[in-house]
A and B are shown apart, each in its own frame.
Chain A
């Protein structure tokens, strides 16, 4: 039984084993068969499948590339359209701009009236000995004061024709000394008082004064020839032309200007012109014909002799350098007259009509002289440094001497009972000025600082030593803006005459141009 059992068991195991194995084998065969049916078994087929896959890939790439190409094409087209649009807009703008340039050119119609001017405010304090003749001018008391207010009226009627009026408004003559008290001369102190009370309001007002500095027409068709007619500033020197506190360097005006060694202004005609030897050289000339000097020359002339003058000036203008030298020569006559009414009377004091013109006015010359003067001026501006100098020589040839005033007699050292007459004389005046525009304006907000120094010698009249003096001036010019000039200055007057002592003056000034 045992062996049969074992055989039987072996036989069943084998049968099961066979069954299982065959099933698995069958399944594997089926899978293998299926695999064999799906994946190529041969190399060409494998390659074919690979190729197909690559073609698919290529198709995809081409599609993507095509899409990108379309985008790029669209972008390029948009860009091109934008450029075309820009070009069109530029053309339209140009066409519109060019339409502005269709009318013919015209002459420049000026017809321009303008107003401008200047004024200043000063503060001054003088120091001197108690016994000093200069107290007639400097009281030694600190004070604020306004010199004058100038108003300009300029009209440019055409390109060649213009008119200029310069008016000065002053508080004087209010406060001016007319005479001094002098026991020996028997005079009283008198000061001009131009105040008055308005009867309607009882408010006190003060009359001022009006100065007509100049009023003239200028006709200048070409640079080399022009005519000025009216009252004009004498074309001499530097100071007389600059003359405004906003332009001149110092606060103090040189004696040659204050004492009018050259007539500061004249009424008459002036011919002038400018020539250009080269782009950097300028030659100016001027010829003046006027009433000359006289007690009322701005109103009318009192003699037939007219004042004749000539101005010549040469200027060089380089990039950082400007140099000019000029001269003015003048010849004229001064005449003062009095009008005497003369009547031919009968014994009964009635007019004697037997005589032709029994009542007439006789013109009698009371004073006259001829004067010859020459002035020269030079200025050099280089890299911010300015050197300036003027000189005047004046010869007065007395024709009809006049009686000197009591003051002049006293100043001449003569007793009041002595009658002194004017006599021929020589006058000399000269000054030199140096100013340095410090190169620090950019570092201090554009404010220009310029220290200066001036020396003047003046001997106006060789017969009046009291008028002879030297001047030393030192100061600082501050320009915070083109319209405002501030100055601070120390001045020392050293009179030549023993009759007057030295004077020290400190002054501050604010000058405004508007």
Chain B
């Protein structure tokens, strides 16, 4: 009797798990991508944070990492600073004012078209919204889901 109940129970479980993990791609997801010259294929949020705060400046497998921001005011930048750098835009600006006088370090360069910038610059990394992403020109390292309701 128990064997009879086992199959439908397992089936229900698997289906419910699938429904939980399945998630349609949101056009407002943040896609973090790099130039195809970059040797790594994935990145963690922590590592991305270190690169964009210029605490870490080289790729683990070699080459100077060129972090590229979207232009100030872009929706992708606001989301990225919040979700990855874990701060507000104002806090990010304060951080760079502090870095400049402490070590002379300047913030990453900005480009309106981050996809084209990363495509054109070796060892570079940047981000954009999924709806702006084009397949095949750069490699995706990480996708950060959009905030619920955002």
Contact = CB atoms under 8 A, between A and B. Distances in A.
B124 A479 contact: no
B93 A108 contact: no
Interface stretch (A37-45, A71-79, A99-107, A492-500): A99-107
Given A105-B37, A241-B102, A279 B44 contact: yes
A105 B120 contact: yes
Given A98-B134, A105-B122, A118 B101 contact: yes
A106 B64 CA distance: 13
A226 to B, nearest CB: 10
B131 interface: no
B144 to A, nearest CB: 14
Contacts of A482: 90, 93-94, 96-97
Interface stretch (A242-250, A291-299, A414-422): A242-250
B100 A116 contact: yes
Nearest to A278: B46
Interface residues of B, number: 37
A105 B119 contact: yes
B56 interface: yes
B66 A108 contact: yes
B68 to A, nearest CB: 9
Contacts of A166: 104
A496 to B, nearest CB: 33
A222 B57 CA distance: 8
A112 B106 contact: yes
Contacts of A98: 134, 137
Nearest to B103: A241
Nearest to B138: A101
A319 interface: yes
A220 B57 CA distance: 10
A160 B64 contact: yes
Interface string B82-112: 0000100010011011101111101001000
Interface residues of A, number: 47
A154 B103 CA distance: 10
A233 to B, nearest CB: 9
A103 to B, nearest CB: 7
A122 to B, nearest CB: 18
A152 interface: yes
B43 to A, nearest CB: 9
Contacts of B106: 112, 114, 154, 156
A159 B98 CA distance: 21
A223 interface: yes
Contact of B58 (A103, A223, A247): A223
A116 B103 CA distance: 12
Interface of A: 94, 97-98, 100-101, 103, 105-108, 112, 114, 116-118, 150, 152, 154, 156, 159-160, 162, 164, 166, 220, 222-223, 241-244, 246-247, 274, 276, 279-280, 282, 317, 319-320, 446, 479, 481-483, 513
29 contacts: A98-B137, A100-B116, A101-B119, A103-B120, A105-B120, A108-B109, A108-B121, A116-B100, A117-B101, A118-B101, A159-B64, A223-B56, A223-B57, A242-B98, A242-B101, A243-B102, A244-B102, A246-B97, A247-B98, A247-B102, A276-B56, A279-B47, A279-B50, A282-B50, A282-B55, A317-B50, A482-B96, A483-B97, A513-B101
Given A94-B134, A482-B94, 17 more contacts: A98-B137, A100-B119, A105-B36, A105-B121, A106-B121, A108-B122, A156-B106, A222-B58, A223-B56, A242-B101, A274-B56, A276-B50, A317-B49, A482-B93, A482-B96, A513-B97, A513-B100
